[in-house]
Amino acid sequence: MAREIEPGFYWIYEGGPDRSEMFAAEGSSPAWANPDEAVYIPQCAYLLCGEEESLLLDTLSPAGSDHILDELEALLDGDGLDYLVVSHPDVPHAGNTLAILDAYPDATLVAPRYGDDHELYRLDDALRVGEGDEIDLGGYVVAFHEATFLDAPVSLWMSERTTDTLFPIDWLGFPHGESEALQFVDELDAPLGDDRLVQFHGRVLFWHQYVDVSKVKREIDRLIATHEPEQLAPAHGLVVRREATEQMTRMKGVVEEIERRDRIGTLG
Amino acid sequence: MPATIPLTGGVRWINECFAHEDAHEHVSVYLIETETAAILIDSGSFYHREAIAERIDQATGGDGPEAIVLSHSDYPHAGNISTIRDRWDDVELVASSGSPELQGLSDAQRCTIGDSRTVLDRRFSFVDPPLADRSHTAWIYDHGSGVLFTADGFGSYHEPADCDRTSRQFEDNVPRETIYQYHANNLAWLRYVDPEKLEAALASIFETYDISYVAPIHGHPISGRELPEFTNRLVDVAGCIASEYEVPEP
Ligand SMILES: [Zn+2]
Ligand SMILES: [Zn+2]
Domain boundaries, chain B: 5-244
Q: How many CB pairs under 8 A join A and B?
A: 127
CB A211 within 8 A of CB B192: yes
In this predicted structure, what is the pLDDT of residue A263? 67
- Closest residue to A226, CB basis, from B128, B185, B250: B250
In tens, the pLDDT along B115-128 reads: 899 999 999 999 99
Asked if B98 lies within 8 A of A22 by C-beta distance, the reply is: yes
CATH superfamily of B5-244: Ribonuclease Z/Hydroxyacylglutathione hydrolase-like (3.60.15.10)
Question: Chain A contact for B107, CB < 8 A?
Answer: no
Residues in a beta bridge with B17:
B26
| H or E segment to which residue B68 belongs | strand B67-70
In this predicted structure, what is the pLDDT of residue A25? 65
Give the dihedral of Cα atoms A112, A113, A116, A122; nearest 10 deg: 50
In tens, the pLDDT along B205-243 reads: 999 999 999 999 999 999 999 999 999 999 999 999 999
In this predicted structure, what is the pLDDT of residue A172? 96
- Closest residue to B75, CB basis, from A62, A120, A155: A120
Query: A2-264: what CATH class?
Result: alpha beta
Residue B63 CA, chain-centre distance (Å), reads 23
In tens, the pLDDT along A76-85 reads: 998 999 999 9
Asked if B102 lies within 8 A of A17 by C-beta distance, the reply is: yes
- Over chain B (250 residues), the average pLDDT of each successive run of 10 is 89 95 93 94 94 96 95 89 93 82 77 89 93 84 97 96 96 97 93 96 96 97 98 98 93
Return the number of other C-beta atoms located less than 10 Å from residue B77's C-beta: 25
In this predicted structure, what is the pLDDT of residue B1? 63
In this predicted structure, what is the pLDDT of residue A47? 98
Provide the shortest C-alpha distance from residue B87 to chain A (in Å). 22
Write out residues in chain A with pLDDT < 50, as ranges.
Answer: none
Is the four-CA dihedral A107, A110, A116, A117 of positive or negative sign?
A: negative
In this predicted structure, what is the pLDDT of residue B123? 96
Asked if B250 lies within 8 A of A221 by C-beta distance, the reply is: yes
In this predicted structure, what is the pLDDT of residue B210? 97
Provide the shortest C-alpha distance from residue A84 to chain B (in Å). 19
> Which chain B positions have a beta carbon within 8 Å of A117's beta carbon?
18, 25, 76
- Residue B215: which of B139, B159, B118 has the closest Cα? B139
pTM exceeds 0.90, yes or no: yes
Question: Chain A contact for B201, CB < 8 A?
Answer: yes
d(CA A93, CA A62): 9
- Closest residue to B73, CB basis, from A17, A91, A117: A91
- Among chain A residues, the shortest Cα distance to B202 is held by A210
**What values do phi and psi take at A205, rounded to 5?**
-105, 55
Tell me which residues have their CB within 5 A of the ion that is ligand 2.
Answer: B 17, 24, 163
- Residue B72: which of B127, B115, B117, B123 has the closest Cα? B127
In this predicted structure, what is the pLDDT of residue A52? 97
In this predicted structure, what is the pLDDT of residue A13? 97
Going by the DSSP 8-state scheme, the letter that residue A149 receives in this structure is: S
In this predicted structure, what is the pLDDT of residue A268? 53
In this predicted structure, what is the pLDDT of residue B114? 86
d(CA B114, CA B208): 12
